[in-house]
Structure 1
Amino acid sequence: MSLPIKDQIVIVSGAGRGLGAAIATAFAREGARVAINYRASRQQAEALAEKIGSGAKAFQADMRSLAETERLVEEVTTHFGAPTTVVHNALADFSFNGDARSKLDALSWAEMAMQLETALQGALNLIQAARPAMERAAFGRVVTIGTNLFQNPVVPYHDYTAAKAALLSLTRTAAAELGPLGITVNMVSGGLLRTTDASSATPEAVFDIIAANTPLRRVTTPDEAADAVLFFASPWARAVTGQNLIVDGGLVFG
């Protein structure tokens, strides 16, 4: 079964800014109704919803809490209808600046756990909350957001990369379990994006190095990464599940 994007009801976690905002905007552009989830970025999320128009609305919930995530799904269902598609983009507070990240000799488990709670626990909560409606409809699309650092760990983002690697494993095991229900689960893994709040601390020289070593000779934008998310939600990906699509201009080959 497939469903055109224009007929989908989409929840994007962490959509108040950065890549999440680009993903929400891309779905709205194609006619979907979009729930813009935010944890703390209320002003940005509401401004984005106002910019998009009646097809979007901001909803607050902390994805680390199953109760709040279930409330989010209930509120979205009341406003738009049952969600068909969820994108887990929420990111724990993070700055993409390698010089400022903890090396292994100083890395604390608290730092690791903070990333795992948002990346992994948040995804589990969102899947569990959205699954009943998807199962009833015999249709669902789940897209998670990963990183090309799996293949190219050139910066010491140990906590971030480990959490995203765990999320990739959950993406694949969830795909295996939910496939018979008509639900696909896939991951889009970008590289450093130009530019989001999280990458704003990245030195300009790093962007230049990445561009010079990328076949397309430029750094991927949030809008370009967002379009890849739409692919997994579209009818063209109806036979694709459990996959990790790297979207970084060819910097890393998967």
Structure 2
Amino acid sequence: MDIKEQVVLVTGSSRGLGAAIVKAFAREGANVVVNYFQNEAKAQEVVESIGKDLAIAIKADIREQSEVEIMFEQAKNHFGRPITTIVNNALIHFTFDAVNKKNADTVTWDDYQVQFEGSIKGSLHTVKAGKKDMADLNFGRIINIGTNLFQNPVVAYHEYNTSKAALLGFTRTMARELGANGITVNMVSGGLLEKTDASAATPDEVFKIIEQNTPLQKVTSPEEVADSVLFFASPWSRAITGQNLVVDGGLVMD
């Protein structure tokens, strides 16, 4: 299925990387669901920038299965066809602040659980809500947003890095099960992105260090990561599943 024929849900897409992803899909002609949890104004701004003929903003807490299922039904009713493509991008209560981050003495299990609920529980809910329609079509694309930090934890964001490592296990296990239904499940892992709301607390010195140590001599942008997400949704990736693509200018080579 070409991208222009797809209905794409991007969780947490009212800002930052999520907004860049929905705009990239819309640029290619896809219908997009701009999911948000709190900031309706920003979500509507994204819809306005895309055009209401291609986009709809829907509020849903991805940690609540019932809300996710309602969102899928709303999208299906609005576009007249089901969601075919899911991008699990939402970031729950986390800021990339290397100075004020929690360390091994201060991090708690509750901190871990918050990130696990965003990364794993939220992704599980979207997969459950979308699987039947995808199986009926014998087509589905699930793309999970990871991070290069669990492969090279240059900053010890304990709870965040660990949840994204778990998300890779989730990705590969789902890929193994859902492949028979024509559904691929992959991960795209960016590095620190310049510059989003989530990375706004990061000192400029950190970005300079990344530039100096990255083969491409630049910090990756949200738009560059978004283009890699498009690849996993496109026909060009039809034989790829269970993979993790690191998009960080070569900083981490796996």
Q: Which residue pairs with 1:66 in the alignment?
A: 65
SS of the residue corresponding to residue 223 of structure 2 reads helix
Q: What is the Cα deviation at residue 225 of structure 1?
A: 0.3
SS of the residue corresponding to residue 252 of structure 1 reads coil
Q: Which residue pairs with 1:57 in the alignment?
A: 56
SS of the residue corresponding to residue 180 of structure 1 reads helix
Q: Which residue pairs with 1:42 in the alignment?
A: 40
Q: Which residue pairs with 1:196 in the alignment?
A: 196
Distance in 1, Cα, partners of 2:39 & 2:107 = 27
C-alpha RMSD over aligned residues:
0.5
Distance in 1, Cα, partners of 2:162 & 2:85 = 25
Q: Deviations over 1:36-80 (max 9, x none)?
A: 000112111011101100201100000001111001100000001
Normalized against structure 1, the TM-score is what? 0.98
Matched, 1:128 2:102: no
Q: Which residue pairs with 1:220 in the alignment?
A: 220
Q: Deviations over 1:176-196 (max 9, x none)?
A: 000000000000000000011
- Equivalent position amino acid for 1:249 in 2: G
Q: Deviations over 1:203-227 (max 9, x none)?
A: 0000000000000000000000000
Distance in 2, Cα, partners of 1:172 & 1:204 = 35
Q: What is the Cα deviation at residue 151 of structure 1?
A: 1.5
Q: What is the Cα deviation at residue 100 of structure 1?
A: 1.1
- Equivalent position amino acid for 1:42 in 2: E
Distance in 2, Cα, partners of 1:133 & 1:20 = 23
Q: Which residue pairs with 1:90 in the alignment?
A: 90
Distance in 1, Cα, partners of 2:158 & 2:208 = 23
Aligned residues: 252
Distance in 2, Cα, partners of 1:186 & 1:107 = 29
Q: What is the Cα deviation at residue 29 of structure 1?
A: 0.1
Matched, 1:103 2:120: no
- Equivalent position amino acid for 1:7 in 2: E
Normalized against structure 2, the TM-score is what? 0.98
- Equivalent position amino acid for 1:23 in 2: I
Structure 1: give runs of 5+ residues left out of the alignment: none
SS of the residue corresponding to residue 228 of structure 1 reads helix
SS of the residue corresponding to residue 14 of structure 1 reads coil
Q: Deviations over 1:80-125 (max 9, x none)?
A: 1201100000001211111111101111111110001111100000
SS of the residue corresponding to residue 208 of structure 1 reads helix
Match for 2:30 among 13, 29, 32? 32
Q: What is the Cα deviation at residue 12 of structure 1?
A: 0.4
Moved over 3 A (4+): none
Q: What is the Cα deviation at residue 140 of structure 1?
A: 0.2
Percent identity between matched residues is 54
SS of the residue corresponding to residue 207 of structure 1 reads helix
Matches for 1:169-248 after TM superposition, within 5 Å? 169-248=169-248
Structure 2: give runs of 5+ residues left out of the alignment: none
Q: Which residue pairs with 2:5 in the alignment?
A: 7
- Equivalent position amino acid for 1:20 in 2: G
Distance in 1, Cα, partners of 2:143 & 2:181 = 16
Structure 1, 168-177 or 146-155: larger mean CA deviation: 146-155
Match for 1:22 among 4, 20, 41? 20
